[in-house]
Structure 1
Amino acid sequence: MPKYHDELDAVLRALADPTRRAVVERLAKFPAVVSELAAPFPMALPSLMQHLRVLEDAGLVTSEKHGRVRTVSLRPGALDVLHLWLGEQRTPAERQADRLGIHLTRTHPKET
């Protein structure tokens, strides 16, 4: 188990919800105020705030409050732990595919 598994678990739990994934996709473009983020979703503002709290607890987003306006941003490098884990999973699969390719080449040489 990787030493960063707690962080990875938090990110995966946060991204398991389609609303939170949509918020992250939107914030990947540029920061937004909460009211802009809430507009496309058929839910009350407190419900969206709960989603934002989950994303913030997972370290995916940050927020700043200026007066009565809260601006939310995607934290730089927030998805690095997910990218790292996916890369580690891809490597063994790629090695297996390479071995399979070598085996098939040896057992079924191309006819010329």
Structure 2
Amino acid sequence: MLPNSAHWQPALGRNGFVEGIEDIRQSIRIILETPQGSDPLRPEFGSNIYQYIDRPIDRARPHLVREAVRAIRRWEPRVTVVRVQVEQGDGPAHVLIRIEFRLADGALASAEVRA
């Protein structure tokens, strides 16, 4: 089966591909989970959220929001960030980042990233 969309990518962690909104969600996940400077062919790609992961959540939250918005604005031009929420994750050094975004057609969608 071939993708029906101009925007698609191989699915992470499983066979096949993602397209449409799932492509955007996976793209946001890749952007936020990639430490900036770790891709030798694109040293500016990614985000700096990793620098704040093991700080107390109340101190890390504004930095995580800033870094998520900055990275998504730069690397995912298909969306406009509406809101970023940061919550304590499963462990003391884990956070859950929820991103609400608007697509070009005006539809609202969201993505979650565990860091």
Same fold (TM over 0.5): no
Bigger relative contact order (CA 8 A; separation at least 6): 1
Per residue, is there more strand in 1 or in 2? 2
The structure having more radius of gyration, on CA atoms, is: 1
Which TM-score applies when normalising by structure 1?
0.26
